[in-house]
Amino acid sequence: MTEKDLPALSIADLQSMLRRREVSAREVVDALRARVEAVDGEIGAYLSLDMDAAAKEAEEANVDLPLGGIPVAIKDIINVMGQPCTCGSKILHGYRATYDATVIRKLRAAGAIPFGKTNLDEFAMGSSTENSAMKLTRNPWDLTRVPGGSSGGSAAAVAADAAFGALGSDTGGSIRQPAALSGVVGFKPTYGRVSRFGLVAFASSLDQIGPLTKTVRDSALIMNVIAGHDPQDSTSLNEPVPDYAAKLGNDLRGIRLGVPKEYMIEGTDPQVKAAINAAVKQMNSLGAEIVDVSLPHTDYAVAVYYILATAEASANLARFDGVRYGYRAENPKDVLDLYGRTREEGFGPEVKRRVILGTYVLSSGYYDAYYLRAQKVRELIRQDFAKAFEKVDAVISPTSPVPAFKLGERTADPLQMYLADIFTIAANLAGICGISIPCGFAEVDGHRLPIGLQLLGKPLDEARILQIAHAYEQSTDWHKSRPPIASATHKA
Ligand code: GLN
């Protein structure tokens, strides 16, 4: 194996090579640096890199630790001490994190090397990464298309072999949807499973951190490290963490999979439908029993989400006022002018739209009509899933109704953009876990565009979801396909 081939490895394979001393952690960082330099000019996945520090850490890496010597990319909304944390926003210009998020502390303790921060929609609001104030990120499968979002930088980096694995955050689909559009695995844990301490808050009752990786096993390996109770996050669950990787197997006997009739909506691309139907058959042939289920309140999920998420965002983003962090408007007349102009100049249009909407739904006279009602419907959506999970172990659907769309195609119409998350949002409202895995390709304009399959599971049932996803993945070759940019640069 030459240095050029190293970046294509999965975390699991890299781990065995490191442990057999066939490669050093330093060589891995050097190979990754070369790869990022070769492709990221075109992809635009990274907002900042600290490869010199990574190389130093690699020199001292203990490769026998759970993720010893493995470089991991981090969505730029998670604090890594000393590194910028822009949240894709101008308002955090110049800010550097003064502490490590709990997930970063845990990654470091397990020997992993956080080496770069990835692009995202501003404050994770969006589905295409186009709401970043910093740069565009392009889909490695077709550079004229979006990588999905908001964790688009993390997804594109992993897809282009410019990261072995990455962390993202998922408030309404931001790990699963970009994973689907970029052809990688994206896992959203149960609400409370992974600490949110050090994740810049968007909608605190929905946000979760999770991995984006090339394989399901790699997601399990990262989950083993980042999951668990944290007294610094009051919503963190105090439950034991199983060994997610140990439970992975190859058959699905005894597993019951629910196909919800509400999830094959009009407007779902026929190639996406066909791929999901084929995957359901495949899982059936691996021993799973397929059961019809119903999630009758699905229709309300997007509306409920955009009331609750914006309400929470309007409160969470109040802290960006020019006094405490980052950007500050120049020559303010007084303190109100300072607040007003800092926010006017520092926030982009999508963030402003949401702060205004969220403030409105929380205002007196409207609170009961919007916020309170949305909370009630959220509970009905949670109950839908609880009922379905009495009959099945997991619910299957497409992750996204369409494959990657063109850059610019949906930016003029926020509603169109919001609909990109129609299949992922309910899981956040219900607090359950979910994964997106590659399940096929659509042929569009001469390009092969990845299709993602979503599996949703009961609260704290991540081990089973990973097990089902892994068994399916191992029975297919989808995860082995690399985008043209990967092979083109490899051959060069
Ligand atoms: N696309 C959804 C939104 O714009 C979800 C984003 C996310 O999960 N962070 O809010």
Arithmetic mean of pLDDT, 142-163 = 98
Asked whether the predicted pLDDT for residue 64 surpasses 50, the reply is yes
Q: Which residues pair with 449 in a beta bridge?
A: 442
Whether the Cβ atoms of residue 218 and residue 185 lie closer than 8 Å to each other: yes
Strands 71-75 vs 165-170: parallel, antiparallel or unpaired: parallel
Q: Which atom of ligand 1 is nearest to the CA of 203?
A: 9
3-state secondary structure at position 210 = strand
Is pLDDT larger for residue 41 or for residue 247? 41
- Dig out the tokens for 337 from the structure: 């002018």
Q: Which atom of ligand 1 is nearest to the CA of 126?
A: 4
H-helix segments, 234-372: 270-285, 301-316, 335-346, 349-362
Length of the chain, in residues? 492
Annotation says 150 is catalytic? yes
Pairwise CA distance, residues 431 & 426, whole Å: 8
Q: What is the DSSP string of 136-185?
A: ---BTTBTTB---SSSHHHHHHHHTTS-SEEEEEESSSTTHHHHHHHTSE
Whether the Cβ atoms of residue 226 and residue 258 lie closer than 8 Å to each other: no
Residue 414 confidence (pLDDT): 86
Residue 50 confidence (pLDDT): 96
Pairwise CA distance, residues 297 & 54, whole Å: 47
Residue 267 confidence (pLDDT): 81
Q: How far is CA 53 from CA 86, 281, 341, in A?
A: 19, 48, 37
Whether the Cβ atoms of residue 85 and residue 97 lie closer than 8 Å to each other: yes
Tens digits of residue pLDDT in 350-404: 999 999 999 999 998 999 999 999 999 999 999 999 999 999 999 999 999 999 9
Asked whether the predicted pLDDT for residue 78 surpasses 60, the reply is yes
Q: Which residues pair with 170 in a beta bridge?
A: 208
Q: Is 182 exposed, middle or buried (0-12, 13-18, 19+ CB in 10 A)?
A: buried
The torsion angle over the Cα atoms of residues 411, 415, 417 and 418, rounded to 10 degrees, is 150
Which residue is catalytic, options 89, 128, 154, 174?
174
Tens digits of residue pLDDT in 92-132: 999 999 999 999 999 999 999 999 999 999 999 999 999 99
Residue 2 confidence (pLDDT): 80
Asked whether the predicted pLDDT for residue 314 surpasses 70, the reply is yes
User: Residue 249 C-alpha to ligand 1 middle, in angstroms?
Assistant: 32
| DSSP letter, residue 451 | E
Could you check whether the bond before residue 150 is cis, i.e. omega within 30 degrees of 0? Answer: yes
Q: Which atom of ligand 1 is nearest to the CA of 125?
A: 4
For residue 153, which of 179, 171, 185 has the smallest C-alpha distance? 179
Tens digits of residue pLDDT in 262-290: 887 778 899 999 999 999 999 999 999 99
- Dig out the tokens for 486 from the structure: 């990967």
3-state secondary structure at position 91 = helix
Residue 302 confidence (pLDDT): 95
Local confidence band at 53 (pLDDT 50, 70, 90 cut-offs): very high
Local confidence band at 487 (pLDDT 50, 70, 90 cut-offs): low
Which residue is catalytic, options 48, 127, 128, 150?
150
- Dig out the tokens for 52 from the structure: 């010199």
Mutate to test the pocket of ligand 1, among 421, 423, 424, 429 (most ligand atoms within 8 A of CB): 421
Residue 491 confidence (pLDDT): 41
Residue 262 confidence (pLDDT): 85
User: Residue 149 C-alpha to ligand 1 middle, in angstroms?
Assistant: 7
Arithmetic mean of pLDDT, 338-358 = 97
Asked whether the predicted pLDDT for residue 492 surpasses 60, the reply is no
Domains of the chain are 3-291+397-491 (3.90.1300.10), 299-377 (no CATH)
Distance of CA 491 to the CA centre of its chain: 30
| DSSP letter, residue 237 | -
User: Residue 4 C-alpha to ligand 1 middle, in angstroms?
Assistant: 35
Pairwise CA distance, residues 278 & 317, whole Å: 43
User: Residue 61 C-alpha to ligand 1 middle, in angstroms?
Assistant: 35
- What does the mean pLDDT of the chain come to? 96
Pairwise CA distance, residues 249 & 238, whole Å: 27
Whether the Cβ atoms of residue 337 and residue 383 lie closer than 8 Å to each other: no
Which residue is catalytic, options 48, 75, 89, 314?
75
Mutate to test the pocket of ligand 1, among 121, 307, 436 (most ligand atoms within 8 A of CB): 121
Pairwise CA distance, residues 359 & 355, whole Å: 6
Q: Which residues pair with 213 in a beta bridge?
A: 165, 185
Tens digits of residue pLDDT in 166-185: 999 999 999 999 999 999 99
Mutate to test the pocket of ligand 1, among 76, 119, 127 (most ligand atoms within 8 A of CB): 127
Amino acid 132 reads: S
Residue 102 confidence (pLDDT): 98
Q: Which atom of ligand 1 is nearest to the CA of 421?
A: 1
3-state secondary structure at position 411 = coil
Pairwise CA distance, residues 104 & 353, whole Å: 31
Q: Which atom of ligand 1 is nearest to the CA of 174?
A: 8
- Dig out the tokens for 197 from the structure: 């301490």
Amino acid 291 reads: V
Residue 486 confidence (pLDDT): 61
Local confidence band at 337 (pLDDT 50, 70, 90 cut-offs): very high
Annotation says 75 is catalytic? yes
Residue 488 confidence (pLDDT): 52
Pairwise CA distance, residues 369 & 101, whole Å: 37
User: Residue 186 C-alpha to ligand 1 middle, in angstroms?
Assistant: 14
Q: How far is CA 307 from CA 200, 313, 355, 370, 375, in A?
A: 20, 10, 11, 7, 9
- Dig out the tokens for 323 from the structure: 């006094």
Site residues for ligand 1, CB cut-off 6 Å? 124-127, 150, 170-174, 202, 309, 421
User: Residue 226 C-alpha to ligand 1 middle, in angstroms?
Assistant: 22
Amino acid 261 reads: K
User: Residue 404 C-alpha to ligand 1 middle, in angstroms?
Assistant: 16
Residue 420 confidence (pLDDT): 85
Pairwise CA distance, residues 413 & 405, whole Å: 13
For residue 104, which of 39, 171, 194 has the smallest C-alpha distance? 194
pTM over 0.75: yes
